[in-house]
């Protein structure tokens, strides 16, 4: 029947409503369902131009959809997703498709996909990034699930996504929960970039004594160059906003305790399980957690004051800080993408890092000029083992690492905490160390626990009697 809707949205909050409006703008006949009458009314008001209407009854909503049905969920992650699925399943037919577009944990997505496949229903986990603005005018989307089912929503997703040089910022990621895995890592990178921006702000403010106007100008200048990215752009604008209550700048009255919804933590947790180090993301997660100990920080700040708090040569320092920022930023993406390649092998996601860097170039929170270089690196070498292994990236690293060392050395010398910057540099130095001291770790393990070791001069597994005089 051709008067049926091509897609139905469950959850008409800000994200769901804006994505539906975006679809309607692109000429798709879509509808929505929400238990909340106010949400239905808001959809009708905002979608007047397209005569967009929603349903208050889930049965009527499902009946209004063209077969095979495409049902998208934009509801809060967690138990609510399971409840909605439970409500839907008896009303659906074999071959129908559910797309969960919230920030669900990828293990929940795997479980749901497996359960629903037994009933012939395709379950997709799709990360959407870009917030309200992105949903309305072009997000970046990371869908994972059955490839054939994807082809039935591909034209809709490609039409509504952000575009970079005409390329849509959406691509089929892979089977199972790969879409939600990629969105989780996207958020881990988001946390890390936010942390390096915070640390740069800290140095500009406290190390160099810049006021908010000078900080605005520095971020503006940086954002016009190679550091150009969405997160720096919004940060720049934060330093312009005044506060009516205090009469000063709003940023100066915001409490320095950061909250989180968990996606960064999930990224760190899974990296430990996969034994794939992502220390800059871990530092970003830990920094938010440490920030919550405000009272204790105040007590310790008084008991253990900084010895000195001055940066020598502020003019040089600002130039070096831009280099350190670029270095740390490269490292954020390098670690995130390294984790993706490991997960792809482990979970058989068959991910294409070239396409993933391509769809992150627009629409999403971590969009950045640097992603263009990353995209080219993976286009030339799809099997690139690590971003640091690319010759173009190596040229950048050679240029910026000396300045980065000066920034971190200077900050540490003067008692400033730069956890993400320092961790990025240590990670880099560890990865370019051919002979690490971890031979000693193996010797220790064998000494006290007979855990055995391998030799550099002979294959096999060995154990030594460490207390014997002559081995």
Residues near ligand 6PG (CB under 6 A) are: 103, 129-131, 187, 190, 260-261, 263-264, 364-365
Residue 9 near residue 30 (C-beta atoms within 8 A)? yes
Q: Which two tokens stand for residue 431?
A: 């990865």
**CA 270 remoteness from chain centre:** 14
Taking Cα atoms as reference points, which of 403, 398, 402, 404 lies closest to residue 420?
Answer: 404
> Nearer to ligand 6PG by C-beta: 130 or 143?
130
Minimal distance in Å, beta carbon 263 to ligand 6PG?
Answer: 5
> Nearer to ligand 6PG by C-beta: 130 or 279?
130
Q: Which two tokens stand for residue 470?
A: 């002559």
Q: Residues 6 or more apart from 257 whose CB is under 8 A from it?
A: 291, 292, 294
Q: Which of 42, 48, 132, 190 is flagged as catalytic?
A: 190
Residue 205 near residue 249 (C-beta atoms within 8 A)? no
Residue 421 near residue 407 (C-beta atoms within 8 A)? yes
Provide long-range contacts, Cβ within 8 A and 24+ apart, for 121-124. Answer: 121/89, 121/92, 121/94, 121/95, 121/96, 121/97, 122/95, 122/96, 122/97, 122/98, 122/146, 122/149, 123/97, 123/98, 124/97, 124/98, 124/99, 124/100, 124/149, 124/150, 124/153, 124/179
Find the distance separating the first CA and the last CA of the chain, reported in whole Å. Answer: 83
Tell me whether residue 87 is one of the annotated catalytic residues.
no
In this chain, which residue has its C-beta nearest to ligand 6PG? 129
Tell me whether residue 396 is one of the annotated catalytic residues.
no
- The helix (run of H) or strand (run of E) holding residue 199 is helix 178-202
**CA 309 remoteness from chain centre:** 33
CA distances from 63 to 47, 51, 60, 187, 223 (A): 21, 19, 5, 36, 49
Minimal distance in Å, beta carbon 259 to ligand 6PG?
Answer: 6
Q: Which of 183, 199, 355, 406 is flagged as catalytic?
A: 183
Minimal distance in Å, beta carbon 299 to ligand 6PG?
Answer: 27
Residue 42 near residue 17 (C-beta atoms within 8 A)? yes
Q: Which residues pair with 143 in a beta bridge?
A: 126
Minimal distance in Å, beta carbon 235 to ligand 6PG?
Answer: 14
Minimal distance in Å, beta carbon 365 to ligand 6PG?
Answer: 4
> Nearer to ligand 6PG by C-beta: 186 or 226?
186
Q: Residues 6 or more apart from 271 whose CB is under 8 A from it?
A: 277, 278, 281, 282, 339
> Nearer to ligand 6PG by C-beta: 187 or 223?
187
Taking Cα atoms as reference points, which of 98, 112, 139 lies closest to residue 11?
Answer: 98
Catalytic residues: 183, 190
């Amino acid at each position: 029947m051709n008067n049926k809707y091509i897609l139905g949205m469950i959850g008409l909050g800000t994200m769901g409503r804006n994505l539906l409006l975006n679809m309607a703008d692109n000429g798709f006949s879509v509808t929505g369902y929400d238990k909340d009458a106010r949400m239905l009314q808001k959809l009708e008001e905002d979608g007047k131009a397209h005569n967009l209407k929603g349903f208050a009854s889930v049965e009527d909503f499902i009946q209004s959809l063209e077969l095979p049905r495409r049902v998208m969920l934009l509801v809060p992650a967690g138990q609510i997703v399971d409840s909605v699925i439970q409500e839907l399943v008896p009303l659906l037919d074999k071959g129908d498709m559910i797309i969960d577009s919230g920030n669900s944990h990828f293990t929940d997505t795997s479980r749901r996909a497996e359960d629903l496949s037994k009933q012939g229903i395709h379950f997709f986990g799709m990360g959407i990034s870009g917030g309200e603005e992105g949903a309305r005018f072009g997000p970046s989307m990371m869908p994972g699930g059955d490839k054939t089912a994807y082809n039935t929503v591909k034209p809709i997703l490609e039409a509504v996504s952000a575009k970079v040089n005409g390329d849509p910022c959406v691509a089929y990621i892979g089977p199972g929960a790969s879409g939600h895995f990629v969105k989780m890592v996207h958020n881990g990178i988001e946390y890390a970039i936010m942390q390096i921006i915070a640390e740069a702000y800290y140095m500009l403010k406290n190390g160099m004594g810049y006021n908010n106007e000078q900080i605005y100008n520095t971020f503006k200048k940086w954002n016009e160059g190679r550091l150009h990215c969405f997160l720096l752009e919004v940060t720049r604008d934060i330093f312009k906003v005044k506060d009516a209550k205090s009469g000063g700048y709003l940023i100066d009255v915001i409490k320095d305790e950061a909250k989180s919804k968990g996606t960064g933590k999930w990224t760190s947790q899974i990296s430990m399980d996969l034994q794939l180090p992502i220390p800059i993301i871990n530092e970003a997660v830990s920094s938010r957690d440490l920030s919550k100990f405000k009272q204790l920080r105040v007590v310790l700040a008084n008991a253990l004051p900084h010895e000195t708090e001055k940066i020598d040569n502020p003019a040089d320092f600002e130039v070096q800080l831009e280099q350190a920022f670029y270095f740390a930023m490269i490292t954020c993406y390098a670690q995130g993408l390294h984790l993706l390649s490991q997960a792809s092998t482990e979970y058989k996601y068959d991910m294409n890092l070239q396409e993933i860097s391509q769809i992150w170039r627009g629409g999403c929170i971590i969009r950045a000029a640097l992603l263009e270089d990353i995209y080219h690196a993976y286009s030339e070498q799809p099997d690139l083992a690590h971003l640091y292994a690319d010759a173009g990236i190596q040229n950048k690293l050679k240029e910026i690492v000396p300045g980065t060392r000066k920034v971190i050395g200077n900050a540490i010398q003067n008692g400033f905490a730069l956890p993400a910057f320092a961790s990025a540099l240590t990670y880099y130095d560890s990865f370019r160390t051919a002979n690490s001291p971890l031979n000693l770790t193996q010797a220790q393990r064998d000494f006290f626990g007979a855990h055995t070791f391998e030799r550099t001069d002979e294959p096999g597994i060995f154990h030594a009697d460490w207390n014997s005089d002559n081995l």
